[in-house]
């Protein structure tokens, strides 16, 4: 099963919204969850941007 770029963008958006929701909740546990989600979001964004760069290079070489 493959994950498309659109799927990845939706996942990133969903996780960003979840982090905002957890930030609004009181307590250290909730803010820690938001921090972990933001870290994952950064990792996915980085992966998505490298995929886009690779696709652009493949198109140029054709």
Q: Which two tokens stand for residue 4?
A: 């498309």
Backbone angles phi, psi at 29, to 5 degrees: -60, -40
Average pLDDT in the chain: 89
State mean pLDDT over 5-13: 92
Higher pLDDT, 18 or 55: 18
Q: What is the pTM of this model?
A: 0.78
- What pLDDT is recorded for position 33? 96
Pair of tokens at residue 30 = 């909730």
């Amino acid at each position: 099963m493959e994950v498309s770029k659109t799927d990845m963008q939706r996942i990133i958006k969903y996780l960003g919204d979840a982090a905002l929701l957890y930030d609004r909740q009181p307590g250290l546990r909730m803010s820690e969850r938001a921090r972990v989600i933001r870290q994952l979001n950064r990792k996915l964004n980085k992966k998505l941007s490298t995929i886009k760069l690779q696709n652009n290079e493949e198109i140029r070489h054709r």
